[in-house]
Amino acid sequence: MDQISGTSELPPSIHGKTRVSRGALWRTWTWVAWFLALFIPFHSVFFDAGWESLVLWVFSPILVPGFALLNLLPRFVLRRRGHMNTPLPIATILPVHWALVFTAVLSLGGTTDAGDLPSGLSLLVGQPLWPDVEESITLVCAIGALSMWLAMVILSFILKPSTRWRGRVLAPALAWSTAVSLIVAAPFVAATLTSYVPDGSGIPLRDAKARSALEESELASKRGIDTHQELVRVRQKLAPNESDMDPLYPEGTYGSDSNDSYRISQSFTSPTPLHTDEPGFAAMLHELGYSPEGYYWQNASGQRLRATNADDGRTNIEIMSPWWWGDSEIASDATLALRKSGQVGATAP
């Protein structure tokens, strides 16, 4: 029986293509490392720049060479140990590592005084994305990229230049196809995940977008009446002698800086203080079904109550509904129609 050698029995032409592929990757490594290093601080040039971009630009003289050298560290080690091209195990990792870094940066949104800015992913897919989805993609891709970089560093110290890899001709091609697929699919995965994000009533975005304008208006009217009725109930308990209420007010894009959504609020002001920091006031809210949630009080329906004492002795009580996916302009029109029709008044639900 012939002894199995360490070389592959594939045709020489296949071996040659594999070596050429890994050699091209070896030569490309430096260029891609510097491109990604420049892309991190300056990616906002192609999209929307926020305050974080200014910080990245200021520190770019340190950030750019630092990231590029870290990315090239495995290559430096390999070259010092006698490698002339990219070893097959690293060749199957490196393209995916690059794609993860690129996608992580692409999923970063911007921040300004006027609000948050859309990420590159949302601009590529052509629709707003849920901020938590973008942040999750950034975190997953960053952890994946770091893990692969650590793996390449370890492999660069243990792989021998004389090793002849058996077969596995498709591994580099599979790595490149995975990397390209990751970049192409990331915006659409983020959009799909966003479409399943539920609002305060448990309705996902995809279902909310399927509603007609009439359904949207009727639903907003019902929610406005529910908010008003809750404030009437609270007022009757806390300040039964007060009747004046501020108008229903829909606030758009609550709970999302990207997709259109809204919540409805209404308040009344008591000329006499309600002593919101006293145990008796808290006991009344507990009787109404409210529990403390940070700076607010919240009931089982997701409605929030905010009580604030003014310097002039007055107390403001505000009821805020949960946030819902929907057209904030339609919600504004619906609540305005409620006020005009008298369905929500100052003294009766």
Name the residue with tokens 């070389």.
7
Give the tens place of pLDDT for each residue, 280-305.
Answer: 889 999 999 999 998 899 999 999 99
Give the tens place of pLDDT for each residue, 22-46.
Answer: 667 888 899 999 999 998 888 776 6
* pLDDT at residue 112 in the model: 61
Question: What value does the mean pLDDT take over residues 134-153?
Answer: 94
* pLDDT at residue 111 in the model: 65
Residue 165 has pLDDT above 70, yes or no: no
* pLDDT at residue 176 in the model: 86
Residue 150 has pLDDT above 90, yes or no: yes
| 164 phi-psi bin (left φ>0, alpha ψ -120 to 50, beta other) | beta
* pLDDT at residue 220 in the model: 94
* pLDDT at residue 88 in the model: 86
CA separation (Å) from 307 to 150, 294, 300?
Answer: 52, 12, 18
Give the tens place of pLDDT for each residue, 220-236.
Answer: 999 999 999 999 999 98
Residue 146 has pLDDT above 70, yes or no: yes
* pLDDT at residue 43 in the model: 75
pTM for the model stands at 0.75
Residue 52 has pLDDT above 90, yes or no: no
Which percentage of the chain shows pLDDT scores above 70? 83
* pLDDT at residue 147 in the model: 96
Give the tens place of pLDDT for each residue, 94-115.
Answer: 999 999 999 999 888 766 655 5
CA 340 to chain centre: 39
Q: Which long-range contacts (CB under 8 A, 24 or more apart) does 28-33 make?
A: 29/72, 29/75, 29/86, 29/94, 30/72, 30/75, 32/98, 33/67, 33/68, 33/71, 33/72
Residue 6 has pLDDT above 60, yes or no: no
* pLDDT at residue 100 in the model: 96
CA separation (Å) from 195 to 92, 109, 130, 187, 189?
Answer: 33, 18, 9, 12, 10
